[in-house]
Amino acid sequence: MSEYTPEPLSSPAVEPLVAAAPAPAPSNPAQQRQRASQLAQALRLELHKALIGQNAVVDDVLTALIAGGHVLIEGVPGLGKTLLVRALARCFGGEFARIQFTPDLMPSDITGHAVYDLQSEQFKLRKGPVFTNLLLADEINRAPAKTQAALLEVMQERQVTLEGRALAVPLPFMVLATQNPIEQEGTYPLPEAQLDRFLMHVKIGFPDASVERKILAQARGEALNGETKPEQLVSQQAIFAARQEILGLYMADAVEEYLVQLVMASRTPAKFDPELAEWIAYGASPRGSIALDRCSRAHAWLAGRDFVSPEDIQAVLFDVLRHRIILSFEAEAAGIDQDRVVQRILDVVAVA
């Protein structure tokens, strides 16, 4: 059976983007950079309280939030993925819903369905858990492709079609899906069309010994004193404003050309390196180029800069491309994974 556990938050939900005017941004570029840096640092501190020791994962999720995309987090159970999503929702006062994906989950359990009302003798639409700000699709690869496909429309168009009606979801809308490693029993590989809709594919690993002790200390403290709730640090209007600001960051022509060449190396590998040509069956689509552009801009904005550097592109390249590259049979037989392919792309494409 499906599990739908909405968690109403103390802060009221705001109206969708069309009804909300973005918060006015400072006219001084220096003030904009300072505000961005302060906001990013405050969000990091709050999220690190929920997810200790996973600095890269926290930064990746913040990057996707500012870039306006979805995140696929891969890792074994028990690493704090749900805690991270819940903390993120509370930091900006959004609504949070969780769906536990199982083999018997139906698409209507996600999107909603029509219910016949005996009193009015009419069908009424009952919205599903997808109508929220942050949706945690827990263990998304536990459900078959038919159920996974229920998220295709809403992830791309921010709307759900029910009984012929297109219903908009609340904005901002973000899907954070978790999946167990594909080699675990009872999992289904995500279709390529589903994977391509995720802005980033983030891998989360086990913490080291020092971080593990901090986790134990925090767990004991919460058991004694109760869980510490994250503070609401930013309004939803501020997130909309940040998404507009990153589009205005300066990117030199040479840097943009470098970005394009990285994507082209995945698409036409024979022109760049014979080894890449043996490893790659299909490369990144234009959606991958857009994702790389948005994420590199968000990475620069979170660092408090008003320009995009090649280092920003390199910082997000693995998370943006690893799920968009389809390996050849020869590469899979040789044990080559996507991260090794992306690293090879970095090695053969020169910085402009």
Is pLDDT larger for residue 323 or for residue 8? 323
Q: Which of 270, 242, 207, 233 is nearest to 75 (CA)?
A: 207
Burial of 140 (0-12, 13-18, 19+ CB in 10 A): buried
Asked if residue 159 has pLDDT above 50, the reply is yes
Percent of the chain with pLDDT over 90: 40
Residue 253 CA to residue 136 CA, distance in Å, equals: 38
Please, what CATH class does the domain formed by 248-348 belong to? mainly alpha
Look up residue 129 and give its DSSP letter. Answer: T
Is-above-0.85 flag for pTM?
no
pLDDT range class, residue 182, cuts 50, 70, 90: low
Helix 236-247 / helix 55-67 crossing angle, nearest 10 deg: 80
Predicted pLDDT of residue 28:
66
Backbone angles phi, psi at 129, to 5 degrees: -65, -10
| Residue 246 in tokens | 């990153």
Say if residue 172 is preceded by a cis peptide, omega within 30 of 0.
yes
| Residue 10 in tokens | 């103390």
Q: What is the pLDDT of residues 75-87, one digit of tens each?
A: 877 788 878 888 8
Predicted pLDDT of residue 17:
29
Residue 191 CA to residue 198 CA, distance in Å, equals: 12
Q: Is 279 left (phi over 0), alpha (psi -120 to 50) or beta?
A: alpha
Mean pLDDT calculated for residue range 104-129: 83
Which ranges in the chain are annotated with CATH 3.40.50.300? 17-236
Asked if residue 18 has pLDDT above 60, the reply is no
Residue 248 CA to residue 300 CA, distance in Å, equals: 12
Which ranges in the chain are annotated with CATH 1.10.8.80? 248-348
Bridge pairing between strands 122-127 and 112-117: antiparallel
State which of 31-35, 166-170, 198-202, 210-214 shows the largest mean pLDDT.
198-202
Please, what CATH class does the domain formed by 17-236 belong to? alpha beta
Asked if residue 116 has pLDDT above 50, the reply is yes
Look up residue 282 and give its DSSP letter. Answer: E
Helix 253-267 / helix 310-321 crossing angle, nearest 10 deg: 30
